[in-house]
Structure 1
Amino acid sequence: MKKLLLVGTLALLGANVSAQETRFGVKAGYSMSTIKVDEDQDDLEERNTDPSHTFYVGGLVEHKFNDNFGIQGELLYSPLGGKEDYNASEDQVYFREKSKLTFGTLLIPVSAKYFISENFSVSLGASFGLILSAKQKTVIDAGIGIPGLELEGDDEVDIKDEVNTLNIAPFLGAEFALENGLFFDARYNYGISDLSKSEGKVTNSFLQVGVGFKFGGN
C-alpha cells in the first residue's frame, strides 16, 4: 500500500512539473492613447480631449504553473499621450489652444493569466510606465473679432521637468494563441497616476491591440 501511495505521489509531482512551462516572445501593435485633465473651469471655457494613435513594441516572458494559471511580464516601448483642445471666449475676444502631448514611455506590464482553453486566456494586471521623455506641441489661435487680426503660434517644447515619471495603469486583457506560437491580444490600461506636477490632475489611459510570437513550447 505504501509503495502504491509513493508511486501515486511521484506521478502527481511529475505531472505538475511537466505542466509548468516558460516561454519568451516578442510583440508589437497599435495603441490608442488618451489624456484626462481634471481642473476647475468657468462657463466661458471649453476643454476637449482627443486620442493619439500610436504603436508599441517589445518582448515578454510567460510562465504557466499548470493548464489554467500563469503569469506574464513584459518590457515595451510606446509614445503615449493625447490631444487637448482648449477654448475660451468673451464678447468678441476668443482664444483657442490645441496641444498634443507625447510621453515616450517604457512600459513594464505584469499580469496574472487564466487559460479558459489551451488557445484562449484572460489577464488581469498593471502596467508600470516610466516616462523617459515628454513633449508638448501647441498651436495657438487668438483674436478680437476683427477680420484679419489673429495671432497664431506653432511650437514644440520639452516638458519633462513638469511631468511625473511614473504612470501606473491597471488593465484587463484577453489573448488568443495558435499552436505555432503566433498570438493576438488586446487590453485596456486605465491610468490612475497624476502625471502633472502643477495644479490640475492629468491621467493617461490607453488601449492596446497587437500581435506577437512565443518561442518554444509544445
Structure 2
Amino acid sequence: MRQKFLSLTVVIFLCATGFTQDDPLQSALLGFKGGLNFATVSTENLDSPDFRTDFYVGLAAEAMLTEKFGLQIETLYSRQGFEIRHQFREKRTVKINYIQVPILVKAYLLEGLNIQGGIQLGFKLNGEIDDSLLVNDMDLESDAIKSFDFQLASGIEYKFKNGFFMQVRYSYGLSEIINDSEIHNSVLSAGIGFMFY
C-alpha cells in the first residue's frame, strides 16, 4: 500500500510540473493540507451511528484552466469510520484508514473564494471493528470492509493571497463499505493548508 501512496504522490507532482509547462493552463500550484474528519455512515441497518473524529493530511495540486475555473487533485491519508451503541448500550468503534484521491473542479466566485465538486477514490489501508457488529443478521468482521470506496465530494474554500487556505468539504460514498450492508461513508471535513506560488 505504501507503493500506491508513493505512486499517487508522484502522479500529483508530475501533473503539477506538466501543468506549468502547457499554455492552456493559467497557473499551477502545489501544496499541503490537513485537518479534522467528522466521519460517520449513512444506513438504515444501524441504529443512529455516531461520528468518529480523527484527522487527514496530504498533498494537493491545483491548475487553473481559465481565470475562474480550475482542477484540483489531491492525495490524502484519511482516518475515518464511525461509532455505534450496540447491544446493551455497549459502544462499538469501526476504524477505516484510507488513501483518498479527490479529483475536483473548482469555480472561483470571488477573489479567493471558490466552490468545488467532483469524485473521490478511496483505497483502504486497513480497517478495524471492535468485537463484531450485526448488520442484516450478518456478523461483521474487520476483513469484511471493502478495499475500494467511490465517493462524490463537494466543498467551499477560501484562499488568501499568501497561499494559506481554509476549507470545508463533504463526501458521500456511492459504494457500500461492506458488501450487502447498505452502509455508505459520510464524511464532513474541515482543514487548512498552504499552496506554494
TM-score bracket for the superposition, by shorter chain length: 0.7 to 0.9
Equivalent position amino acid for 1:70 in 2 = G
Comparing 17-26 and 163-172, the one that deviates more: 17-26
Cα displacement (A) at 1:98: 2.5
CA contact (8 A) 2:25 2:63 kept: no
Aligned residues: 170
**How many angstroms apart in 1 are the aligned matches of 2:89 and 2:164?**
47
User: Of 185, 200, 203, which aligns to 2:181?
Assistant: 200
SS of 2:130 mapped into structure 1: strand
Aligned residue for 1:123? 116
Change (3 A) 1:181 1:212: same
Aligned residue for 1:38? 44
> Is 2:26 the counterpart of 1:20?
yes
CA contact (8 A) 1:169 1:205 kept: no
**1:134-181 alpha-carbon deviations (Å, 9 max, x no partner):** 0012499xxxxxxxxxxxxxxxx971x211111122111111011111
Cα displacement (A) at 1:30: 0.9
Change (3 A) 1:20 1:101: same
Mapping for residues 11-160 of structure 1, pairs under 5 Å: 17=23, 20-39=26-45, 47-87=47-87, 95-138=88-131, 159=142
User: Of 145, 163, 179, which aligns to 1:181?
Assistant: 163
Q: Between Structure 1 and Structure 2, whose CA radius of gyration is higher?
A: 1
**How many angstroms apart in 1 are the aligned matches of 2:80 and 2:117?**
21
Please identify which structure carries the higher strand content. 1
Change (3 A) 1:98 1:174: same
**How many angstroms apart in 1 are the aligned matches of 2:24 and 2:119?**
29
When the two structures are superposed, what TM-score results if normalisation uses the length of structure 2? 0.79
**1:54-84 alpha-carbon deviations (Å, 9 max, x no partner):** 1100001000012111100000001100011
Aligned residue for 2:149? 167
Equivalent position amino acid for 1:81 in 2 = G
Equivalent position amino acid for 2:154 in 1 = L
**How many angstroms apart in 1 are the aligned matches of 2:115 and 2:47?**
36
SS of 1:50 mapped into structure 2: coil
SS of 1:115 mapped into structure 2: strand
**How many angstroms apart in 2 are the aligned matches of 1:124 and 1:69?**
12
Unpaired runs of 5+ in structure 1?
A: 1-16, 40-45, 88-94, 141-156
Equivalent position amino acid for 1:51 in 2 = F
Moved over 4 A (4+): none
Equivalent position amino acid for 1:187 in 2 = R
Change (3 A) 1:86 1:36: farther
**How many angstroms apart in 2 are the aligned matches of 1:174 and 1:36?**
22
Equivalent position amino acid for 1:177 in 2 = K
Unpaired runs of 5+ in structure 2?
A: 1-22, 134-139
When the two structures are superposed, what TM-score results if normalisation uses the length of structure 1? 0.72
**How many angstroms apart in 2 are the aligned matches of 1:31 and 1:60?**
17
Cα RMSD, aligned residues only? 2.3
**How many angstroms apart in 1 are the aligned matches of 2:151 and 2:121?**
7
**How many angstroms apart in 2 are the aligned matches of 1:78 and 1:18?**
32
Change (3 A) 1:119 1:97: same
